Amino acid sequence: MTETQRIAAPLLALTFGCLAMAAAHGASDPLTPSAGWSAYTAGQGATPPMGWNSWNAFATNIDEDKILGSAQRILDSGLAAKGYRYINLDDGWVAHRRIPDGRLLIRPERFPSSVTPAGSSFRPFTDKLHSMGFKAGIYSDLGRNTCSQAYTPDNPDLPKGSVLEREVGLYGRIDQDIALYFSDWGFDYIKVDGCGARAFGANEDKVRSGQYRALAPILHMESVSRSDIPAVQAEFAQINAALQRNRPNGDYLLSLCIWGAGDVRAWGKNVGNISRTSDDITPAWPRLLSNFDSAAKRELYAHPGSWNDPDMLFIGKGDFDAEHLVEARSHFALWAMLSAPLLIGADLRSTPQPLMDILGNADIIALDQDPAGNQATLAYDVNDLQILVKQLASGQKAVAIFNRGVTAIDAELTAEHLKLRKDAPITLTDLWSKENLSFTGETKLHVAPRETRIFRVQGTRALADGLYLSEQTGSVNPAVDGVTTPVVDPTLFRSSFAWTGTKGPGERPMYAGWGGARADSAPYGQRLQIADKPYETGIGILANSRLEVRNHGYRRFSALVGVDDSASDRKHGVTFLVYGDGKLLAKSKALKLGQPAQALNANVSGVKVIELVARSAGGSNEQLPVSWVEAALLSAR
**Which are the catalytic amino acids?**
193, 280
Nearer to ligand GAL, 221 or 334 (CB): 221
From the list 358, 363, 388, the residue with the least C-alpha distance to 376 is 388
* Distance separating alpha carbons of residues 498 and 278, to the nearest angstrom: 15
Indicate the residue whose CB is closest to ligand GAL. 147
Looking at beta carbons only, is 91 or 368 nearer to ligand GAL? 91
Helix ranges (DSSP H) in 247-371: 264-267, 285-296, 325-337, 353-359, 362-368
Q: Which is nearer to ligand GAL, 192 or 591 (CB)?
A: 192
Q: Which residues fall within 8 angstroms of residue 602, CB to CB, at 6 or more apart?
A: 556, 557, 558, 578, 580, 585, 586, 610
Residue 482: CB minimum distance to ligand GAL, A: 29
* CA atoms lying within 13 Å on the CB side of residue 516: 28
Q: How far is the CB of 620 from ligand GAL (least distance, A)?
A: 34
In the DSSP assignment, the letter for residue 603 is E
DSSP string, 281-303: --SSHHHHHHHHHHHHT-GGG-B
- Closer CB to ligand GAL, 314 or 628, in the complex: 314
Angle subtended at Cα 123 by Cα 119 and Cα 129, rounded to the nearest 5 degrees: 150
What minimum distance in Å lies between the beta carbon of 216 and ligand GAL? Answer: 19
Residue with smaller CB distance to ligand GAL, 309 or 481: 309
Cα gap 316→244, rounded to integer Å: 36
Q: Which C-beta is closer to ligand GAL: that of 197 or that of 624?
A: 197
> 139: which strand partners?
191
Contact 398, 454 (CB under 8 A): yes
- Nearer Cβ to ligand GAL (314/535): 314
Check: CB of residue 358 under 8 Å from CB of residue 328.
Answer: yes
> Do residues 70 and 76 make contact, with C-beta atoms less than 8 angstroms apart?
no
CA angle 429/433/439 to nearest 5° reads 35
Cα dihedral across residues 273, 277, 282, 287: positive or negative: negative
Minimum Å distance from CB 141 to ligand GAL?
8
Contact 292, 338 (CB under 8 A): yes
Sign of the torsion angle spanned by Cα atoms 300, 306, 311, 312: positive
Cβ 227 to ligand GAL, closest distance in Å?
15
Shortest reach from residue 595's CB to ligand GAL, in Å? 47
Least CB distance to ligand GAL at residue 188 (A):
18
C-beta of 447: minimal distance to ligand GAL in Å?
Answer: 30
C-alpha closest to that of 519 among 375, 411, 339: 375
312 backbone dihedrals φ, ψ, rounded to 5°: -75, 165
Measured from the CB atom, is 53 or 452 closer to ligand GAL?
A: 53
Element (H, E) at 19: helix 17-24
Residue with Cβ nearer ligand GAL (72 or 211): 211
Backbone angles phi, psi at 67, to 5 degrees: -70, -50
Contacts of 15 (CB under 8 A, 6+ apart): 237, 240, 241, 244
CB of 186 to ligand GAL, least distance (A): 21
**CB 436, CB 424: distance < 8 Å:** no
Q: Taking each helix axis from N to C terminus, what angle separates 3-15 and 229-246, rounded to the nearest 10 degrees?
A: 50
**Residues forming a β-bridge with 387:** 380, 401
Write out the residues near ligand GAL by the rule CB under 6 A: 55, 90-91, 146-148, 193, 195, 257, 280
What is each CA distance from 294 to 85, 281, 514, in whole angstroms? 26, 11, 11
Q: How far is the CB of 152 from ligand GAL (least distance, A)?
A: 8
**DSSP string covering 461-476:** BSSTTEEEGGG-GGGE
**Min dist. Cβ of residue 503 to ligand GAL (A):** 20
Q: CA-to-CA distance for 413 and 430, rounded, in angstroms?
A: 14
Residue closer to ligand GAL (CB basis): 219 or 539: 219
Please, is 363 exposed, middle or buried when counting C-beta atoms within 10 Å of its C-beta (0-12, 13-18, 19+)?
A: middle
